[in-house]
């Protein structure tokens, strides 16, 4: 039997949360009903009041509410809820959390859920779940379920959907992952254009006794990898695909933000860094490419993905950025450069083959990198087995020396 937190704005959604709580109890689990409302009094009696939530989060709720600013109240309650929920998890008092809401309730509850560890069961039934949920999910494993109709009373449709949501959270807490051998974890960044390299390096690392977690360098993938490195769970990093920085610099759709390439440095984790796929900037379908880029070199990866070649000037700036990020690393790091191509399509004969742009990238990396950081240049493409082997073996060497 588990205890599941049912978290929500019980002033406007009390009936719905109580319904879900009842279904959870019918499955044999305990419920901790938590009020995060900021308006009228709750319509059902909570186990933890909004005042207690606010107090635990250091929020003076009467003072906040006196200003009658709903945005401020929602933001304050979101932060307090995150603190409360994390304390409950760390104390072992809850084993899962579910919430139902519209805009304000979703903002409050997903903020709280993002404070929780990956793997902890989290379900958010929301009116916003059919749109862009990235701001709500962030880098965590929150299950967003569309409410279909507004969370406004119990009717024939909401009764069915809320029952499914209750079943989902119960199933999550009931299923315990099978015990396995806990091997040291390695993070690796991968793109379609570096798949062969990453897979080959992964195989070498696994034979050496490590478990490799591969993250797609699609913006969110890079953000998630960075957040996982910051947890302290990671023993080493194969950052073979740093392409998200091209999107960040030039304005592509798969950027991971300005803090990409920082977590390894902050945590002192041994890392391999390469300029993988910095030859390309990602856009959607061809018609979605901003008009300011007309006349540039493009490659249609598929009907939904258009790639744009980075220029000599952009590559020079990307090399400087990569070097400056690596210069801040506090742990052991090696930069590897594949001189004959940083992606499948930038190799000789490929659509993005541009020796001048590659030279600008490599030269900038070497010019700006601090002198004590080791650089390994190989006369091959990034997907050559030789390069993959060098990435894996250099990371193993760094980790062995740190140990």
Quick one: pLDDT at residue 106? 95
Of 182, 251, 260, 178, which is closest to residue 215 (Cα–Cα)? 260
* Mean pLDDT, range 172-186, rounded to an integer: 86
* 196 shares a domain with 151: no
Q: Where are the alpha helices (DSSP H) in 261-384?
A: 263-267, 312-327, 355-368
Domains: count for the chain? 2
Contact 335, 376 (CB under 8 A): yes
Mean pLDDT, residues 137-147: 94
User: Distance (Å, rounded) from C-alpha 352 to C-alpha 344?
Assistant: 9
Query: At which of 145, 174, 203 does a domain end?
Result: 174
266 and 163: one domain? no
The reported pLDDT for the residue numbered 153 is 86
pLDDT digits (tens, 9 = 90+) for 251-283: 999 999 999 999 999 999 999 999 999 999 999
Token pair for residue 15? 């009936």
| Cα dist from 188 to 209, 224, 256, 360, 388, whole Å | 15, 12, 15, 25, 12
Q: Count CB-CB contacts under 10 A for residue 119.
A: 10
Residue 402 has pLDDT above 80, yes or no: no
User: Is 353 contained in some domain?
Assistant: yes
Alpha-carbon distance 343 to 352, whole Å?
A: 9
* DSSP tag of 233: -
**Hey, is 145 helix, strand or coil?**
strand
* 180 located within any domain: no
Q: Which one of 174, 201, 226 terminates a domain?
A: 174
Give this prediction's pTM.
Answer: 0.80
- Cα–Cα dist 258/244, whole Å: 10
Q: Which domain CATH number covers 334?
A: 3.40.50.12030
Q: Is the dihedral of CA 262, 266, 271, 272 positive or negative?
A: positive
pLDDT value of position 269: 97
Let me know whether 219 and 70 are in one domain.
no
My answer on whether 102 and 150 are in the same domain is yes
CATH number where 136 lies? 3.40.50.12020
Residue 221 has pLDDT above 90, yes or no: yes
> Contact 142/129 with Cβ under 8 angstroms?
no
Q: What integer pLDDT is reported at residue 62 of this predicted model? A: 83
Query: CA-CA distance, 356 to 116, in Å (whole number)?
Result: 47
3-state SS string for 204-237: HHHHCCCEEEEEECCCHHHHHHHHHHCCCCEEEE
139 and 60, same structural domain?
A: yes
**Pairwise CA distance, residues 259 & 354, whole Å:** 28
pLDDT single digits (tens) 16-63: 999 999 999 999 999 999 999 998 999 999 999 999 999 988 988 888
Strand partners, 299: 307
């Amino acid at each position: 039997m588990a205890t599941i937190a049912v978290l929500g704005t019980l002033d406007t959604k009390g009936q719905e949360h109580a319904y879900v709580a009842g279904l959870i109890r019918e499955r044999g689990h305990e419920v901790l009903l938590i009020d995060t409302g900021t308006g009228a009094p709750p319509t059902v009696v909570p186990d933890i009041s909004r005042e207690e939530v606010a107090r635990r989060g250091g929020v003076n709720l009467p003072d906040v509410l006196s200003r009658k600013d709903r945005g401020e109240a929602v933001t304050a309650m979101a932060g307090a809820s995150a603190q409360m929920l994390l304390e409950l998890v760390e104390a072992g008092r809850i084993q899962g959390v579910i919430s139902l809401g519209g805009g304000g309730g979703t903002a409050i509850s997903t903020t709280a859920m993002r404070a929780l560890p990956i793997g902890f069961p989290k379900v958010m039934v929301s009116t916003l779940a059919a749109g862009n949920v990235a701001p709500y999910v962030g880098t965590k494993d929150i299950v967003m379920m569309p409410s279909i109709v507004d969370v406004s009373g119990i009717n024939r449709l909401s009764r069915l959907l809320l029952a499914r949501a209750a079943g989902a959270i119960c199933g999550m807490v009931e299923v315990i992952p099978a015990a396995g051998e806990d091997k040291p974890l390695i993070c690796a960044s991968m793109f379609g254009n570096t798949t062969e390299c990453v897979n080959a390096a992964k195989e070498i690392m696994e034979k050496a006794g490590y478990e490799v977690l591969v993250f797609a360098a699609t913006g969110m993938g890079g953000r998630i990898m960075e957040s996982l490195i910051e947890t302290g769970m990671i023993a080493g990093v194969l950052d073979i695909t740093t392409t998200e920085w091209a999107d960040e610099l030039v304005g592509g759709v798969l950027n991971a933000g300005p803090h990409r390439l920082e977590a390894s440095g902050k945590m002192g984790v041994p890392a391999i860094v390469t300029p993988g796929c910095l030859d390309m900037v990602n856009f959607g379908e061809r018609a979605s490419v901003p008009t300011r880029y007309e006349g540039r070199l493009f490659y249609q990866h598929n009907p939904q993905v258009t790639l744009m070649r980075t220029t000599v000037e952009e590559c020079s700036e990307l090399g400087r950025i990569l070097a400056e990020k690596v210069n801040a690393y506090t742990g052991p790091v090696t930069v590897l450069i594949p001189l004959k191509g940083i992606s499948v399509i930038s190799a000789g004969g490929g659509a993005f083959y541009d020796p001048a742009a590659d030279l600008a990238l490599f030269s900038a990396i070497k010019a700006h990198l601090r002198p004590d950081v080791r650089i390994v240049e190989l006369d091959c493409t990034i997907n050559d087995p030789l390069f993959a082997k060098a990435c894996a073996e250099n990371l193993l060497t760094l980790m062995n020396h740190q140990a």
